[in-house]
Amino acid sequence: MATRLRGRPAHAPGPTYLAYTPNGKKLITVGTNGAVRIFQHGSDDEPAIIDVTTDNHTAVVATNTFFLVGAEDGSVTKYSLLTNSMEEILVRCSLPVRDLSLSRDGEWVAVASDELEVKVVDTGDMTRIMHLREQSRPVKHVSFDVSGSMLAVSCSDGVVYMYSLSSEQPQLLKRIDGLVKTLETDAEASSKVAWHPDGRAFVAPTSTRDIQCLARKDWQRQKAFSGGHRADISAVKWSPNGALLATAGVDNSLCIWETRSQRLVKTFEDINHTILALNWHPTDNLCSYTNHNGELFIREDFVPSPSSSLLKIALHPAPMNNEPLSKISGNARKQADDRQKPDGVHRSVEDQYLDDLLGPDAMSEDDAGFIEDDDGAGYAEVPNGFGKRAAGAVNGLPVKRHQPYPSWRPQVQEAFQPGSTPWRGNRRYLCLNLTGFVWTVNQETHHTVTVEFYDRQEHRDFHFTDPYKYDKACLNEKGTLFSCPPSAQSQQSATLYYRPHETWTTRMEWKTQLPAGELVISMSLSDSCIVVMTTAGYVRVYTLFGVPLLVHRQKSTPAVTCASFRDYVMTVGTGPVSGDGTTRLLYSIENVRRDEICQNEDVLALPEGVELRSVFFSDKGDPCIYDTSGVLLTLLHWRTPGQAKWVPLLDTKMLERLASGKKDETYWPVAVADNKFHCIILKGGEEYPYFPRPLLSDFDFNIPVSSMPANKDDDEDKELAHQKGLEEQFVRASLQHSLQRDLVENTNASSAQKAEVSMMERGVDKVLLQMLAAECREGEERGMKALEIAALMRDRTGKMLEAAGKIASRFQRDILGDKIHQLAERRLVGLVDEEEM
Amino acid sequence: MAMFLPSGLTPDEVGFLCEAEEVTVIPRQRLEGLELLGGPTHALNPPFPTPLPLWLALLLKKQRRANISPPPWLSAEALTHILDFETDERTAEVLSPAPALPRATSTAPLEGDPYLSLDSLEFSAPFAKNAATSRAQQDALPYHWLELGHLLLTHASDDFDDPDTIRKLLRDLREVRMSKLRKGFKVLGPGAGIKMNGVGGMEIAEVRGFVEGMVNGLRKINRSREESRKEREAEDRENGLGSGSYQDDEDENML
């Protein structure tokens, strides 16, 4: 508890401002009189005083070595903290300076004055100035984000301007209207934006006296801290780790909020003057503020004891809606921020010592214990039955040690549900495929799920209110499968819910609950079975009507994802660590009806640094994968154990539409059907499709055989491109032929499918004939290659070789014609077989 | 019949011809392939985009059984690009080029012109394939661009991202191209044609009446001179110096 609280008369009565140095050793205050005071942290001695030539100071910012003071005469002056003396006048405005903001590295300072433009000045070289001129009225506040690449400018017209400073020319990213109140530049109330330390969100005081959080990614409103103030807000500051928020109002109020629940932790009653500036101490449980009366208050034990432990968390995530839950929705991509992981705990030296003694896992269970999972939203990670965390949580694991001693851990591919997207705003797609799409909207207390179909005649769209908050779904022609995580409120464990689209009896929906503590990692629905992979390492197979067929423990865990087609089930799990520090992915394919394993823990071929993006079966029933490098691969000979190999079908980076280099787009895989790759085109660095639902696009397969000549207009190049095209066509036709032959040999194929095999074989030979013709046209000297091409012919009846001979004679390549004729004869009597070739 | 019809095609007739163009639809329900007089149509299988004749696509669109996906050149971006080309000073003389012809499908067995071989059937405008499907060329206006754009914007405007901008761009394009065509009329004479590549069907229909009337009028004025020339030619032919068949009637069809 605060032992004593006395105002330190720092300056003459009037507006007073303060700043801590980032190391927390010094505190600088400025006020209306012509002096600057520098307090030593933890010392009650009289502060150092620098007499300055300016008075009526309006802002101060500090680094460890210098500080900058803005004054009403329009000057921004730089003072050294090493010598406690003035260094230079950094910039001079024609009108009073209103606010300063320093980038975290201390290199740039943004100056808001009553002029229309905001100046961003290099603190080391005052000749380097950027001007931000988009606002129409004077600016009240400026605020750099954590990375220093973005500046939030709160203008007196009630608009927040977001500038990107990462390029040479500052760019206006967004005008956020209706967020902050319209305030005069000299008003006591504040409209300053406060960036959350994790960099993904910021808060700003609104006209309704709430503190509204907005996401940096899409500028959507997130959660709000509301109901704490009865008057306008004059100062807002995040605690250094973002777990707490301190706010002050013009009605002499001061509040502390908890970030996670947005609840008030404490309201202070003993404030006599409006607080104008407020600063947390960078490390201690201490907060200082200055008021309108020239006084400085240093409040020790600022946060009351039960919540004060929150100050010790490494970095608390910003209060966003629909935060991807690290374990359950495996779709959340890793945050780019690798400085510190959210939810981790700064551990004391003793803890580290213990860790060293006990080994890496001994203390891991109580890491997250300070978070109470009281609303069942999955903040806390419940260790499963083995005291281990589940697969998906790997990126959310707390940092074991301080940064100087990072323990090595392999990079594990996160689990995901094919065809789903993470939350964005309050919406996400649970499933998107060629049948239709399932999306859900977060309505705080419940979700609403909508299922829409492409074929509106066959199926009827439906919509329902979902109290269970389903987070995964599968959709096909026969029905829809949902699953929800366990809920602490209703004491319900994870549930599967299947809803058939049509029945000949009354609708037969069913639900089944998984054993307590088990969570669904990934699931899939085929025409004849349901496959669920759980955190307990089980693969559970059900029939369409809920009869459990099979439960087995997956060999490679943690599980990543699964897919199924009819009775074939493909499961993907994490395997051993490979040379580049990532774990290999292993897949198994089995037929659950016949209980046969087709491929057993085979390696999913991914090059270094490339992750799996999606797994699905093509419409013909061949497994396909799409990876983060934009390559679509299919599995050849997968029905024979040990014979499987991954074959590329399409490299989207080599698509012709990207050849100009102007387009920046990626492709979000949807399906492979009709010998085409169906996908959604994502532009502008998007990673996932969003609403309104984008159109499906399709691309023909194009096996990356060779690069296309650059100059398309040249005749010679055109001919070359034609030949390369034929070569690609040959490889593709042979691949499709062998896929179809596999299918016919291993299943009860229909006669149409069998006929297709011989048709495809003829197709391959036709491409070879065209290649032969192209070679013959080139000239006599290409005869060897032409003969080689003729020898590749698959046809055993001799007709194709006869045709090849005709082509040779038409081009008057007589020697070649003779050789082809000999080859045909030897083949006919069986002298040449494939081994010899 | 006392009905007066201008020679050539009326805009309605041009629009009717345009309805035979194929466009890409995104079906909303299944439909087996139809055996029609003009040839079989593709089976519809949602959500796979399928090429269908425009008239059928519009019919399905009106019944809300399909969405039409506009061809790539009918986008704000592509049209702005083409309009830039048309208004550029350096290309003030010519219209923007028509779509490139497809690669010849029939390979000539030996050196020679593939178009001359008997079994080949090579298409060019207005019969070129994929003029208005999603595989159409993005940076060129096909033969039926104006009619097709108009029909799609009238009946399927909800399938466009920004129909008003596209409508405006089409109108701008029409005006700038018509003014280019009119500039060409200055050099028209009784025997002279103008060369304009990449003219659309509707544009031909629009200027045909004027050009034909004018050329005919000029020819009437010059009839005496022409008759004397013909006489001279007849004399020459009698003298055995035939200058071949001169068909000045063909000239007016060049437009």
What DSSP state is assigned to residue A209?
S
SS3 A104: coil
Amino acid, single-letter form, for residue A311 = L
CB contacts < 8 Å between A and B, how many?
34
Residue B89 pLDDT: 84
Q: In the structure, what pLDDT confidence band is assigned to residue A687 with cuts at 50, 70 and 90?
A: confident
CATH of the domain spanning A427-700: 2.130.10.10
Q: What are the φ and ψ backbone dihedral angles of A48, each rounded to 5 degrees?
A: -75, 145
- Is the Cβ pair B48, A698 closer than 8 Å? yes
- Is the Cβ pair B26, A695 closer than 8 Å? yes
Q: How many CB atoms neighbour CB B219 within 10 A?
A: 18
Rounded distance between C-alpha atoms, residue A39 and residue A45, angstroms: 8
Residues ≥6 apart with Cβ < 8 Å to A517: A382, A384, A385, A486, A493, A535, A536
Rounded distance between C-alpha atoms, residue A261 and residue A263, angstroms: 5
User: How is residue A187 written in tokens?
Assistant: 């008003």
Contacts of B47 in chain A (CB under 8 A): 434, 454-455, 696
Q: Which of residues 101-120 of B touch A (CB under 8 A)?
A: 103, 107, 109-110
SS3 A165: coil
Q: Is residue B150 part of a domain?
A: yes
Q: Is residue B66 part of a domain?
A: yes
Q: Is residue B252 part of a domain?
A: no
- Is the Cβ pair A698, B29 closer than 8 Å? no
CATH superfamily of A7-194+270-297: YVTN repeat-like/Quinoprotein amine dehydrogenase (2.130.10.10)
Does the pLDDT value for residue A504 go beyond 80? no
What Cα–Cα distance (Å) separates residue A370 from each residue in A40, A239, A365?
Answer: 33, 18, 11
Does the pLDDT value for residue B228 go beyond 70? yes
Ramachandran sector of residue A148 (left: φ over 0; alpha: ψ -120 to 50; beta: rest): left
**CB-based contact A768:A793 (threshold 8 Å):** yes
Closest CA to A476 of A429, A528, A516, A439: A528
- Is the Cβ pair A457, B28 closer than 8 Å? yes
User: How is residue A381 written in tokens?
Assistant: 């990670």
Q: In the structure, what pLDDT confidence band is assigned to residue A225 with cuts at 50, 70 and 90?
A: confident
Stretch among A360-374, A731-745, B54-68 having the lowest mean pLDDT:
A360-374
Calculate how close chain A gets to B38, using CA atoms only, in Å: 25
Question: What was the ipTM of the complex prediction?
Answer: 0.72
Q: What are the φ and ψ backbone dihedral angles of B115, each rounded to 5 degrees?
A: -70, -15
Residues ≥6 apart with Cβ < 8 Å to A168: none
**CB-based contact A39:A279 (threshold 8 Å):** no
Q: What are the φ and ψ backbone dihedral angles of A135, each rounded to 5 degrees?
A: -80, 155
Q: In the structure, what pLDDT confidence band is assigned to residue A656 with cuts at 50, 70 and 90?
A: confident
Per the structure, the count of domains in chain B is 1
What Cα–Cα distance (Å) separates residue A434 from each residue in A482, A618, B95?
Answer: 18, 11, 42
Closest CA to B154 of B140, B166, B139: B166
Amino acid, single-letter form, for residue A160 = V
What DSSP state is assigned to residue A487?
B
pTM of the shown model: 0.61
For B170-199, write each residue's pLDDT tens digit. Answer: 999 999 998 888 887 777 666 666 777 888
User: How is residue A41 written in tokens?
Assistant: 């942290």
For B64-117, write each residue's pLDDT tens digit. Answer: 899 999 999 999 999 999 999 888 888 877 888 888 877 665 554 444 554 555
Residues ≥6 apart with Cβ < 8 Å to A834: none
Give the mean model confidence (pLDDT) for residues A169-181. Answer: 84
Amino acid, single-letter form, for residue A439 = W
Query: Does any CB of chain A come closer than 8 Å to the CB of residue B100?
Result: no
For A599-645, write each residue's pLDDT tens digit. Answer: 999 999 888 888 899 999 999 899 999 999 999 999 999 999 889 99
Amino acid, single-letter form, for residue B78 = A
Contacts of A695 in chain B (CB under 8 A): 26, 69
What is the enclosing helix (H) or strand (E) of A225? strand A221-225
Residue A635 pLDDT: 93
Stretch among A348-352, A460-464, A749-753, A789-793 having the lowest mean pLDDT:
A348-352
Across chain B, mean pLDDT equals 81
- Is the Cβ pair B28, A698 closer than 8 Å? no
Rounded distance between C-alpha atoms, residue A609 and residue A581, angstroms: 9
Give the mean model confidence (pLDDT) for residues A223-250. Answer: 87
Give the mean model confidence (pLDDT) for residues B210-228. Answer: 82
Contacts of A454 in chain B (CB under 8 A): 28, 46-47
Query: Interface of chain A against chain B, CB under 8 Å?
Result: 434, 453-458, 673-674, 695-696, 698, 722, 773, 810-811
The full length of chain B comes to: 255
Contacts of A673 in chain B (CB under 8 A): 48
**Mutation for testing the A interface, residue in B29, B137, B162 having most A CBs under 10 Å:** B29
User: What is the gyration radius of the CA atoms in chain B, in angstroms?
Assistant: 22
Q: What percent of chain A has pLDDT over 90?
A: 19
Closest CA to A266 of A219, A305, A296, A237: A305
User: How is residue A89 written in tokens?
Assistant: 């006048």
Does the pLDDT value for residue A301 go beyond 50? yes
CATH number at residue B144: 3.40.5.50
Does the pLDDT value for residue A694 go beyond 90? no
Residues of chain A with CATH 2.130.10.10: 7-194+270-297, 427-700
Q: Is residue B251 part of a domain?
A: no
Amino acid, single-letter form, for residue A113 = S
Does the pLDDT value for residue A414 go beyond 60? yes
A529-534 sheet: strands from edge to edge:
A520-525, A529-534, A538-543, A548-553
Residue A177 pLDDT: 85
- Is the Cβ pair B29, A674 closer than 8 Å? no
Q: Is residue B40 part of a domain?
A: yes
Residue B4 pLDDT: 65
Rounded distance between C-alpha atoms, residue A620 and residue B124, angstroms: 37
Rounded distance between C-alpha atoms, residue A825 and residue A532, angstroms: 57
**CB-based contact A250:A234 (threshold 8 Å):** yes
Q: Is A189 buried (19+), middle (13-18) or exposed (0-12) by CB count in 10 A?
A: buried
Domain span at residue B50 reads: 11-95+128-202
A447-453 sheet: strands from edge to edge:
A427-432, A436-442, A447-453, A462-466
Q: Which of residues 34-93 of B touch A (CB under 8 A)?
A: 46-49, 65, 69
Rounded distance between C-alpha atoms, residue A197 and residue B74, angstroms: 46
Does the pLDDT value for residue A540 go beyond 90? yes
Q: Is residue B36 part of a domain?
A: yes
Across A170-174, A410-414, A469-473, which has the greatest mean pLDDT?
A469-473
